[in-house]
Every structure is written in structure tokens, then in C-alpha cells.
Chains A and B, each alone.
Chain A
Amino acid sequence: MKARSLLVLVLVVILVLSSVTFISAQDEPIKIGLGFDLTGAESSLDLPASNGAMLAVEEINAAGGVLGRQIEPVLRDSRYEMDITAQIARQFVEEDGVAAVVGFTDSDSVLASGPIIQEAGVPFITAGATSPLLPEQVGDLFFMACFGDNVQAAAAAEYAFNTYGDTAYLLWDEGVEYTTLLAEYFRARFVELGGTIVLEDNYADDATDFSTQITKIRALAEQPDFYFISAMPYNVGPVVLQMRQAGLEGPIIGGDGYDTPDIVSVAGEAANNVFFTTHALMDSEIGTDGIKAFIASYNEAYGHDPENAFAALGYDAVKLLADAIERAGSTDAAAIQEALLATADFPGITGSITFSEGSHIPQKGVTIIEIVDEQFTLAQEVVPEVVPPANLDADM
């Protein structure tokens, strides 16, 4: 009798325990890896992006989570060091067992982490790495929340050609893939339009003095209609400032590397007549309702306006992922991948996101921003007419 009641007790305990673990497996939070360069050279883009991503997670959780489960963000700092970046990718897929990874705003970090995440069979959405070569280099579980560099370069080329004229000066940072690719795509589209590049030049990634390049520009018999300068966020301020100090007042045009508060804090008034392509304008007056709401909640969470469009991209990337998981009905990688591919007209802060015809790069509009008296103002929203192919080499 005693033995029997003991047996019953044990059985009951086992039953209760197993049902408890069963319930907790259902309610277990969905882990999402957030990999960003929080302390290195890319942090002026990655910090806002990670803030945006964390904000999205908070909002999703406050609204009841995804599939009735909360999202548990696992934020890790990649420091813009590639061996650390590879290691945190391993931590995400092995130690943390994340369902998906969101992160990074530069292609080198994506290339260091992407193949590891892909091999582990985990979906990966980059917030702001814009190289259109990435999906081919990383694999089929990789998606971008932003447009490709070929799209923004084409938008810049068309805008500049139509607004300023058919002669351009082209300068790029030769040490970084992003700036080199952007310059190549710009050249391809601008020449295709019938434009002429009167002088091409480049500088080393760690340059702080641009006087050699500027002397060559000043030696030109006639100044071009505009200057296209493809620069990293940490070089944008000095190069613009030194151009203006040398008396070159013409329009300067660039890519989303300009979308950093540094440009205004370094160049100040000299940044007038500077235009650049980016993902969205963070302006609480003329922005869309989505942007206004985003700015308000970002302000509430962090005490200041979003620094740049990368904040919105980080936010969009997480929301895009959550939307896909919800539609997939599970955290299974193949289901998420399928749901992502089927994404159509997803209302992102940085524009509507559609992955069409199996592409892993969304079709999105490009925002062109003009800097007026140290303020970012909207110049134009464009969709380029013709976009150069991602792989220019293969095309030639």
C-alpha cells in the first residue's frame, strides 16, 4: 500500500513536471541574435541601428510578442573586428540557439558572420549592409532590409545628371569595398546617361588630409557640374570641410555613408550644398506617419531623435523578421525563409519592402537629402529608371 501510493506520487510528479516543461516550451521566448558594431569604427551607423532594433523588440513584446511568444534579444558587440564578428556569429548559433540573426550595416561584417550563420541553417537579415553582391556571397537564408548600392548610386547619378549637368568629378575611398562599389555603380550609370567624368581620384581609408586630391581638382581648367564623393562616415566630415575651405563651392553628392551626425558636427556650415542618397529622412515634420511615430517612440526610449536612417533600418529589419515568423507560423528556418521571400508591401519606416522574383534584396525607393544650414532636408524621393547589374565585372 505504502509502496503503491509512493508510485502514484512519483507518477503524478513526473506528469506535472513534464506538463510544466511542455508549457514552458510553448511559451519559451524566441531568441533573436542582434549583432552590431557598438564600439568600433562603424558604430556611428551601428549604434543607431541597434537602438532601432531593440526598440522594435520592445514594441513587439509590449504588443504580445510573435506567435504568442515574447522575443528575447541577444545583443552582442562585434567591435568591427572580423575575428570577433565570426565568433559572435558562432555564439548566436551555438550557445544562444537563436531562431534568426539581425544585424550590421557594412558588408565586411556580414561576410565575416554570414557564412557561419548560413551553414548553421539560421536566417539572417542585415539592417544596412548595402552591397548587392552579398546574397550571392552569403547564401539563400540571407536577406537585406535595405536597397543595394547599385540602386542608390543609380538614383544619385540620375538626380545629379538631371539637376546639375553632365560633367562630374569622382572621388572614392580606395580602402573599403562599399565606397569602391558605390563609385563603380555611379560611374556605370552616369556614363550610360551620357555624362562625362572629368577626373577620377581616390584616397586611403585612413586619410585625414585631402589636399593632394583637392589640388588636382583646383588644377582643372573648368570645374565640373558636381562632385561625387564616395566616402565612409568617418571621412565624410573632413573631406567636405577641406573641399569648402579650398574654395570649391559646387554641389557635393554622396551615398548613405553621409547619413551620420558627424558630417554636420565636423563640417558645420561647410556642409551646405551637400546631397546624399539614403534610406529615409528622419524628420518629424515632413516625414510619413510611420516616421513620425518612430521618431516619437525613439525619443521616448533614448531621449533624442534617431541619429540617421540606420536607426529606422534596424527597426525595420526586426519588424520584417517578426512579420515573417508570424506568417510562417513557426521559427523553423525554411518556413521563415519562405515567408520572407513572400513578403510583399511590408510597411517599413524606410519604405515598403517587397522581395520579388526570388530576390533577397528588396525593391525600395531612395531618399535624397540636402543639407541646409546644418539640417537634413528632403530633396527628392526617387526610384531609379535603370539600375546597373550587381556584378559589373561579369557584365563586361
Chain B
Amino acid sequence: MNTKMQRNGFLVVLGATLILLVGLSSSGSSFWQGIFINLGMYIILVVALNLSNGFTGVFSLGHIGFMALGAYISAILTLPLDKKASYLPDLPGWLAPVHLDMMIGPFPLGFLLATLIAGVLVTLIAVVVGLVLMRLSGHFVAVATLGFLVIVRVVLINADEFTRGSHTFSNVTAYTDLWWVYAWVFIALIAVWRLKFSSYGRAMFAQRDDGIAAQSVGIVIMRPRLLAFAVSAFFTAVAGALWAHYLTSFSPKAFYFDLTFRVITMLVVGGMGSVTGSVVGPAVITAIAEALRRLEDVTLLYGVSQIVLAVLFIVIIVFRPGGLMGEREINFAGLWQRLRFRASVAQEGSAAEP
């Protein structure tokens, strides 16, 4: 009964989201689509980061490095060949003729492949990096992952036969639209949700809260940490690929401290350890930031919105240190019950009237 209500509640949320997406994509307003595309990409980034920073307590500051790698890998794989010849003339021979532009009808299969290749390659990198870094905890892992971010940036700038160095990488094909982003949002949310309530997820939380107690019941700390780090790197790389094919031009400096802290802010505001929070955090911040930005355009007080936003973060952290959601999740069953209750009240009301 309970699981059925949960499923119904979930279907209601899914249906509402689908209606919203259909409405947006048929509205023809690329501005509002843009807002929701940005939001979707932030949701993927935040939920992925939550897996590592929230679930396992390994506070990573280096995830944007995975995002950068995902963006570059996917962009290189899908760059049209004539652009490749003029922008990246020094590509190694095996990579130069690669152009993933296969289409199945209107569906860009090549883009999907490029995204998946980017995700898998970055996951492999994350496993190698994680084998070393996941042995650290607390401040040490934060500093070490920050080191990873710096290394990625230096490599991207100096590997100019692949990345054009600090030159802006432009003319990336614009594949990313609402549907691509929200399909990946859906996959990421489901995957992380399932992980949270699986034994792997319990192991992640257990070793975070008390490492010694977790070890005494047979949890090898390395395993859940590495799993979380790898899965989270995969989705972060996917978000990077989506980002690349949405903005269509970017340079290494786009993937640095600014973006790192923006994503971490969304994570903290939403709630570390909550999948729902990973949606609420980006949504709340995107909504407030956009409203303030419009207020700025009217009042001509440019820059005020950043100050207001910063004060707001401080207020949230002071009054809700666990973020808006803490570790709690949306209660689908409760949602369904409430909807049914409302529907029945409305029915009774309309029945009683005549």
C-alpha cells in the first residue's frame, strides 16, 4: 500500500515535470528554456557532488575538473572535421578523423556516444585519482581535490594540441536542449536515489558518521567512497558534456573556482545528503538569482543582487545549518495522500453545494 502510494506520488511529480517541459519546449522562448537548461545542468552537478560530499563526507573541491574533462572530451569527439583541421591541426592521427555525428532520424546518436565516452573516460580517471585521494578525510581531502582541479586546469591549458590551450574552444555543435538535459537529470536522480537506499548507500553514510564503528561491522571504508567518487565523476562529466554543447564555446578558465563554489553553495543550501535537496538547492538559488537580476535591470543597481544573494546564504546557513532539506527526502506517499485528500474534499464540497 505504502509503496503504491509512493509510486503514485512519484508519477504525479514526474507528470508535472513532463507537462512543464512540454510547455516550455513548445513556448518557443529560448530564454526560459535556457533558464531551465542551466537549472538542469546544475541539478546534475549538485546531485553528483552530493554523492561524494554529502553521502560519503569526502568533501571534494575538484569536481569541476571532471566537468572540464567531460566538456573537452565530448567537444573534441563531435567537432566538425573542417573545424578540427583548422583549430586542432596537431591532433594525433587516430583522433583527427573522429567525428561523432551519427544520427538516427532526428536523434543525434553521436552526441550520446560522445557523452558516454566522456563519462566513462572521466570515471576511469576518477578511479585512479580516487584510489589515492579517498584514503584522506576532512580538510586533507578538500585540499587534495583542490589540487586535482588545479592540475586539470594546467593540463588543459598546456595540452594545446587537444584543447587549443587558453584559446576559446568554439564552434561546438549545439546539441543540448531541454530534453537531453532532463533525461540526464532523471537518470542521475534515479541512480543516486537508488544508491542512497541501497546497502552501498547505507555503507557510505555509516563510514561517514563513524568510521571505526563501520569498520567493526565489516564495511571496508575505501569501497563505498570509491564507488561514490566514481559515479559522481561520471555524472559530473556528463554535465560537462551537456554544458559544452549548450554554450558551444568555452575556455579552461570557465571551469574553475567560480563554478566550484557556485555548485557547492547550491549543495549546501539544498542539504548535504538529500537527493531532494539537490533539486531544491539549485532551483531556489536559480529562481532568486534570476528575480534579483531582473530587479537589477529595473533599478539599475548592478551588483546588488550578488550582495543580497550572499547575505541570503549566510541567513540560511545560520538558521538551517543542514540546508533547506537536511538529509530528508520528498515524501511521495504523503504527497499522494494529500492530493487525494484535497481531491476528496473538493468532491465533497461540490457534492454538498446543491
Contacts and interface: CB of A to CB of B under 8 A. Distances in A.
A38 B170 contact: no
Interface stretch (B132-140, B207-215, B245-253): B245-253
Contacts of B166: 173-177, 179-180, 205
A38 B170 CA distance: 24
Interface string A361-396: 000000000000000000000000000000101101
Contact of B247 (A75, A86, A90, A393): A86
A177 B258 CA distance: 19
Task: Tell me the dominant secondary structure on chain A's binding face.
Answer: helix
Among A38, A90, A181, find the residue whose CB has the most chain B CB atoms closer than 10 A. A90
B329 interface: no
Given A174-B157, A393-B89, A90 B31 contact: yes
A111 B222 CA distance: 43
Interface stretch (A77-85, A153-161, A208-216): A77-85
B208 to A, nearest CB: 32
A108 interface: yes
A177 B157 CA distance: 11
A180 B158 CA distance: 12
B248 A175 contact: no
A39 interface: yes
A111 B249 contact: yes
Contacts of A87: 31, 34-35, 38
B170 A137 contact: yes
Contact of A175 (B30, B89, B157, B300): B157
Contacts of B10: none
A181 B168 contact: no
Contacts of B174: 115
Contacts of A391: 86
A77 B301 CA distance: 10
B251 A177 contact: yes
B184 interface: no
Contacts of B258: 81
B223 interface: no
Interface string B253-278: 11000100000000000000000000
A70 interface: no
Contacts of A90: 30-31, 34
B306 interface: yes
Contacts of B92: none
Contacts of A115: 174, 248-249
A166 to B, nearest CB: 28
A90 B174 CA distance: 15
A174 B165 contact: yes
Contacts of A111: 168, 170, 249
B302 A205 contact: no
A95 interface: yes
A90 B89 CA distance: 33
Nearest to B300: A75
A94 B254 contact: no
A327 interface: no
A91 interface: yes
Interface residue range, chain A: 35 or more
A205 B253 contact: yes
A174 B158 CA distance: 9
Interface string B26-55: 000111001100100000000000000000
Contacts of B89: 393-394, 396
Given A76-B297, A77-B302, A90-B30, A180 B249 contact: no
Interface in B268-317: 293, 296-297, 300, 302-303, 306
Contacts of B302: 38-39, 77
Interface string A176-198: 11011100000000000000000
B87 interface: yes
A112 interface: yes
Contacts of B168: 107-108, 111, 177
A393 B83 CA distance: 12
A180 B297 CA distance: 34
Contacts of A393: 86-87, 89
Nearest to A106: B168
Contacts of A76: 297
A95 B296 contact: no
Nearest to B289: A84
Contacts of B320: none
Contact of B306 (A39, A112, A175): A39
A83 B38 contact: yes
Interface in A289-344: none
Contacts of A174: 157-158, 165-166
A82 B38 CA distance: 11
A393 to B, nearest CB: 6
Nearest to A39: B303
A283 B253 CA distance: 35
A180 B167 contact: yes
Q: Which 6 A-B pairs have the closest CB atoms?
A: A111-B249, A90-B31, A39-B303, A38-B302, A77-B302, A177-B167
Given A82-B250, A86-B247, A174-B158, 8 more contacts: A83-B38, A83-B247, A87-B34, A87-B35, A91-B31, A95-B31, A175-B252, A175-B253
Interface of B: 29-31, 34-35, 38, 86-87, 89, 154, 157-158, 165-168, 170-171, 174, 247-254, 258, 293, 296-297, 300, 302-303, 306
Interface of A: 38-39, 75-77, 81-84, 86-87, 90-91, 94-95, 107-108, 111-112, 115-116, 137, 173-177, 179-181, 204-205, 391, 393-394, 396
22 contacts: A39-B302, A39-B303, A75-B297, A75-B300, A77-B302, A82-B254, A83-B247, A86-B34, A87-B34, A90-B30, A90-B34, A94-B30, A112-B249, A137-B171, A137-B249, A174-B157, A174-B158, A174-B165, A175-B252, A176-B166, A176-B251, A180-B166
